[in-house]
Amino acid sequence: MGTEVNSILPVLAVMVSAAVVPILASSRSANVREAWTFVAAFGKVGIVLAMLPHVLRGDKLSFEIAPVFPGVSLAFRVDAMGELFALVSSFLWIVTSAYSIGYMRGLKEHGQTRYYSYFALAMSSTMGVAFSANLLTLYVFYELLSFATYPLVTHHQDEEGRSAGRRYLTYIVGGSIGLVLPAMLVCYGSSQTLDFTPGGILANSGLSRFELGLLLFMFVFGFAKAAIMPFHSWLPAAMVAPTPVSALLHAVAVVKVGVFSILRVLGWVFGVALLGNVELGWLVGSVASGTIIGASLVALTQDGLKRMLAYSTIGQLSYIILAGTLNSGFAWKGALLHIAMHALGKITLFFCAGAIYVATKKERISEMGGIARRMPLTMSVFLVGALCVIGLPPTGGFISKWFLCLGSLEIGQIWPVVVLLTSSVLSAAYLIPVVYKGFFGTGPDIQGEGMREAPVWCLLPMTVSAAGCIASFFFPGLFLGLAELIVRG
Amino acid sequence: MTSHLPALVVTVPLLTAFAAFAAGWLRPKLCFPVGLTGLGITAISSILLLAEVLEAGTVTYELGRWPAPWGIVYVVDRLNGVVLAAISLCAFIQWISSRASVKSQFSDRIGAFYGLELLFVTGAMGITVTGDAFNLYVLLEIASITAYALIAMGGGRAPLSSLNYVFMGTIGAWFYLLGVGYLYIMTGSLNMADLASILQGMRSSQAILVAFVIIIVGVWLKMGFFPLHGWLPNAYTHAPWPATTLIAPLMTKVMAYVMMRLVLFLFGPEYSFGVLGLKDVVVWWASLAVVAGSVIALSQKDLKRMITCIILIEIAYMVGGTFLGNRSGTTGAIFHLVNDVFMTLCVFLAVSSLAFRQRELDMDAMEGLFSEMPFTMGALVTGALSIVGVPPTCGFFSKWLLLKGALEAGHYEFMVALILSSLVCLVLFFRVFEAAYFGHGERSHGHHRMREAPLGMVVPLLVVAIGIVALGLMSGKVISSIIEPALPRGVL
Amino acid sequence: MDRILEVVIAKYNYWIYIVLMMIGLYGVIAKNNLVKKIVGMSIFQTAIILFFISMGMKKGATIPIIIHGQEASVRASDYINPLPHVLMLTAIVVAVSTLGVALALAVKIYKEFDTLEEDEILEKIRKS
């Protein structure tokens, strides 16, 4: 099944964000500073790509940083799932950095140096989570990510930011210290290890069904970054952040870290077999389903575009968790694919939302009637992103949803399919009207102004990510390959 | 020279104290370098001593070549070896960092102030290194009396707070002495190792029981363990900053060491945990103390007072951890002791830097501090994260062990208290950071120019902050090579 | 009644020190005047000193001074135990230093607040 190869590459990928130092040092010259960000982003992608051939062969790259407790150390271990997540996030960092330039400069935002430095730190922490070999390392980087993203969420340093920041930390750090930490301890206490092992480490732990269930709940709700209801309200609140932050972090990095962590717990700490044996999978599955439907319904009521997208994200994340509870190869493939597909789609949508704000200062959907006349490119890109999130061809979102449905049919469960289809319909219900309104509607102050698109630095990245949505429909091979490896293992 | 290390770690600060006093009369400018040299030698000696203990095992030093149990012996094993190193490093760093502050506040009495500080370090080192129960009392009083004087040197309310500390501290220390007297009557010995072996045969004696209780109560009083903590908030808050930054990280932690030494080695784990069913009662009480400390800290508006009250929480952790009675708990308590020296030092040094620049420490004055004093605030964040228990700072790892010990011992209330207090500390520090980050709601565009504290304050502070993270990353090695083998055999 | 008297008379030294210690503690805790508190503290310390000294006593023993040249024929039970006395020399020194520090603090407090009554001082602090 492949060998363990000792390699320093994972560490390097994380450490790329030591680029923070030159970023801080070049705070006087905006161009030099942004150049450093690109150097770091490309460097990170490069290192992640360098690891790809090994991972595709089935090898696992590992590196131990320091032993801390008997049986537990701070260590990295790159397997296909981590590589997939790392690929998606690092690639999207490049795209987002370009977008940030357009956005931050277009709005003449303050504190840009701080913004880019903490962004780099946040991306490092994300890499750290992706490559973690055990729960403890994951916890370390999870926490670091929470604190690294706080200055980004509260960037505007106004009253809104203050309360959003408080809510952010309360849910996320409160969840991790209050729920995940004791849960980790119980795991360690019963199995003497925290390493991620295929098949889980709790199989012979002697814990009763009730205790396992409690543990599962503590993990699922403790990793509040996954925004499972009712611990989800930090996410819409965090939309006060600048849009690139919302785009990359809250559509891709932070929330996917939460989901990634839960998947790791489901598959590598509990083990899908154990979940099936004690029949706990359905418990988490129902909570996830509730979140999916609930979030989609709330999204329908939102007038703020970013808030609507936030609720959409909450729903979409729970797809992944729902799939993770099903003991089916197809379902897991779908889950892993969805990490990538949803990221591409959602980031496209957020980019569009931000572009609209930069060009027209509009945030409310009700005011966006006829906006396609001014910003046709943006709205077309929005359409692509919407298709991806809804799950229609020719976008990659279709493929991941297809696998999810196949997966639940494979094990004879009908209700996940029902939930998925319902929520797809609901997604269409809240996304398509935006497109429709934009192209065919009329709205305030659209007075034949002619085309006035967003800045180029915004347009290019969103076109790239939209292209990614479509490309991943036609060429899903890479993601499928990585997902395959995980499912086999 | 190495064979005299145990004596050096006490005599060097002592002689340096007199040299500092003398320099204060003759040439005040020399006080600082004299003390720096002395503390530097002490720090190096204690590190060498620790290395020697790690290599060769317990080091025994007979003062005046009088053999135990008639003479006084200094005994250094892994437990006090690491504590000695921590104390001397802490004192050394604090000495450098407080220079500007001392110069501005005590330039007319600089010899006296520095001399007292060095005597305090002498006392602290002596308490840790001695193997004789009465000798411990003597050095305890040296440390205490110098602390009383140092605290009283602040103006305003300081003398009254110090006098209250005098009263309670004296009661605590003399309770300890009384308990030692009981032990002497029953065993005829004052040497700790000797007492330990004699006491093994005296488990059922009522006098020994009374001695145990009186000694522990006295030690708890000096440690600031709820509800015997009343002297602590006032004394540390009203003391002048250079005094607080020295005393706060050290005094209570050294007393915690005394408690561990007595409970684990003198009376022995079987006795200490078994008698009176003490194990469970004390852990329950410690959980209560943790919660009480959290509540007290939450209600403070002044930043200095707030961080002082956090000490109450940390001390309760150590008491609870020791009395959990299992390996994880005890290891956690010992590691937490070492960590807490540095965490407390970091936080207090950071806030003292803030006070040096700002003078006012209420929340309104915090506005824009992140831009004005980025390094100080960065170090404060690190110290705060360590107190909350966020990896990879060292505070996380000791808390993990304490939690594990509580889980294994079935003391879920202690687990709950630990987690609750972590969240409370998060809130406590977050209030400060939010105020510093946001200001008054107007958009602060980061236009505050950087106005850091002097280099002599910032550099040691950064060293401690980095040390906290390094200690955390190295915690595996520290625990396995130093702390785990330090535990006595009776702890399961 | 007889039994109690027996116990009291046999161990009278312990009873004395306990009573003294309680008086001292009462002084420290309950008295309002700072100097009275200091006196209480001193009594408390003295009680413990007396306890130590009393423990060295032996029936029919004399003070521990050995005449030159007669070391060989010394029997330990003829002489009272000098060790507690020695320990208490140190303790007395400590007590005196503590007393000195406490009185110096009281002088400082008096200079600042013009009174030595604790409640008045706290009142003045609250007002300021």
pLDDT recorded at residue B449: 62
Indicate the pLDDT class of residue A4, thresholds 50, 70 and 90. Answer: low
Q: Which residue has the tokens 């496209």?
A: A348
Tell me the backbone φ, ψ of residue C70, rounded to 5 degrees.
-110, 25
In tens, the pLDDT along B224-266 reads 998 888 899 999 999 999 999 999 999 999 999 999 999 988 8
* Residue B391 Cα, gap to closest chain A Cα (Å): 5
Q: pTM for this one?
A: 0.89
Alpha-carbon gap, residue B61 to B65, rounded angstroms: 8
Amino acid at the residue A137: T
pLDDT recorded at residue B1: 45
Burial of B355 (0-12, 13-18, 19+ CB in 10 A): middle
Order the strands of the A72-78 sheet from edge to edge.
A4-6, A60-69, A72-78
How far is the first Cα of chain C from the last one, in angstroms, to the nearest whole number? 58
Asked if the structure places residue C71 within a domain, the reply is: no
Residue B159: its chain C contacts at CB < 8 A? 105, 108-109, 112
Closest CA to A81 of A257, A203, A224: A257
With a CB cutoff of 8 Å and minimum separation 6, the contacts of B18 are: B115
Beta strands in A39-158 (DSSP E): 60-69, 72-78
Closest in A67, A154, A166 to B476, CB measured: A67
In CATH, what number is assigned to the domain containing residue C15?
1.10.287.3510
Task: Tell me if chain B has a CB within 8 Å of the CB of C105.
Answer: yes
Tell me the backbone φ, ψ of residue C89, rounded to 5 degrees.
-55, -45
In tens, the pLDDT along A275-325 reads 777 777 778 888 888 888 888 888 888 888 888 888 888 888 888 888 888
pLDDT at residue A408 above 90?
A: no
**Which of the 8 DSSP states describes residue B448?**
P
Burial of C74 (0-12, 13-18, 19+ CB in 10 A): exposed
With a CB cutoff of 8 Å and minimum separation 6, the contacts of B286 are: B225, B316, B317, B319, B320, B323, B414, B417
Residues of B with CB under 8 A from a CB of C: 134, 137-138, 141, 145, 148-149, 152, 156-157, 159-160, 162-163, 166-167, 170-171, 174, 177-178, 181, 184-185
Q: Which residue of B has its CA nearest to C57?
A: B185
| Chains touching B, CB cut-off 8 Å, 3+ pairs | A, C
Q: Are residues A322 and A452 in contact, defined by beta-carbon separation less than 8 angstroms?
A: no
In tens, the pLDDT along B272-301 reads 887 777 788 889 999 999 999 999 999 888
Asked if the structure places residue C84 within a domain, the reply is: yes
Closest in C52, C83, C109 to B160, CB measured: C109
pLDDT recorded at residue B74: 92
Q: Strand pairing of B73-76 and A4-6?
A: unpaired
pLDDT recorded at residue B363: 65
Amino acid at the residue C88: M
Which of A76-85, A229-238, B362-371 shows the lowest per-residue confidence on average (mean pLDDT)?
A: B362-371
**Which of the 8 DSSP states describes residue B485?**
G
pLDDT tens for each residue of chain C, 128 residues long:
777 778 777 788 888 899 999 999 999 999 999 999 999 999 999 999 999 998 888 888 888 888 887 777 777 788 888 899 999 999 999 999 999 999 999 999 999 888 889 888 888 888 87
For chain A, the average pLDDT equals 81
pLDDT recorded at residue B443: 40
Q: Are residues A123 and A88 in contact, defined by beta-carbon separation less than 8 angstroms?
A: no
Alpha-carbon gap, residue A437 to A440, rounded angstroms: 5
Closest in A65, A158, A177 to B441, CB measured: A158
Q: If you average pLDDT over residues B157-176, what whole number do you get?
A: 94
For residue C93, what are the domain limits? 2-59+79-127
In tens, the pLDDT along B26-68 reads 888 888 999 999 999 999 999 999 999 888 888 888 888 888 7
Residue A270 Cα to chain centre, angstroms: 22
Q: B235-266 in b/e burial notation, b at 16+ Cβ within 10 A?
A: bbbbbbbbbbbbbbbbbbbbbbbbbbbbbbbb
With a CB cutoff of 8 Å and minimum separation 6, the contacts of A248 are: A89, A92, A93, A96, A119, A347
CA dist list (Å): B267 to B76, B167, B209, B488: 18, 28, 10, 11
Does the beta-carbon distance from B423 to A68 stay under 8 Å? no
Q: Strand pairing of B73-76 and B59-62?
A: antiparallel
In tens, the pLDDT along B380-412 reads 999 999 999 988 889 999 999 999 999 888 889
Q: Are residues A237 and A163 in contact, defined by beta-carbon separation less than 8 angstroms?
A: yes
Alpha-carbon gap, residue B150 to C60, rounded angstroms: 48
Q: Which two tokens stand for residue C82?
A: 């000098």
Task: Tell me if chain B has a CB within 8 Å of the CB of C108.
Answer: yes
Which of A243-247, A364-368, B168-172, B429-433 shows the lowest per-residue confidence on average (mean pLDDT)?
A: A364-368
Q: How long a stretch of residues is chain B?
A: 492
CA dist list (Å): A102 to A42, A351, A458, B488: 18, 11, 5, 64
For chain B, the average pLDDT equals 88
Q: Which residue of C has its CA nearest to B189?
A: C83
Burial of B107 (0-12, 13-18, 19+ CB in 10 A): exposed
Q: Are residues A395 and A387 in contact, defined by beta-carbon separation less than 8 angstroms?
A: yes
In tens, the pLDDT along A373-388 reads 778 888 888 888 888 8
Closest CA to A102 of A349, A459, A463, A458: A458
pLDDT at residue B491 above 60?
A: yes
Asked if the structure places residue C74 within a domain, the reply is: no
What percent of chain B is modeled with pLDDT above 70?
A: 95
Q: Are residues A252 and A123 in contact, defined by beta-carbon separation less than 8 angstroms?
A: no
The answer, yes or no, to whether the previous bond of A455 is cis (omega within 30 of 0) is no
Does the beta-carbon distance from B438 to A177 stay under 8 Å? no
* Residue B159 Cα, gap to closest chain C Cα (Å): 6
pLDDT recorded at residue B46: 93
Indicate the pLDDT class of residue B2, thresholds 50, 70 and 90. Answer: low
Q: Are residues B352 and B98 in contact, defined by beta-carbon separation less than 8 angstroms?
A: yes
With a CB cutoff of 8 Å and minimum separation 6, the contacts of A23 are: A33, A36, A37, A40, A113, A116, A117, A120
Asked if the structure places residue C90 within a domain, the reply is: yes
Closest in B422, B445, B475 to A110, CB measured: B445
CA dist list (Å): B19 to A384, B93, B131, B205, B432: 80, 20, 27, 48, 41
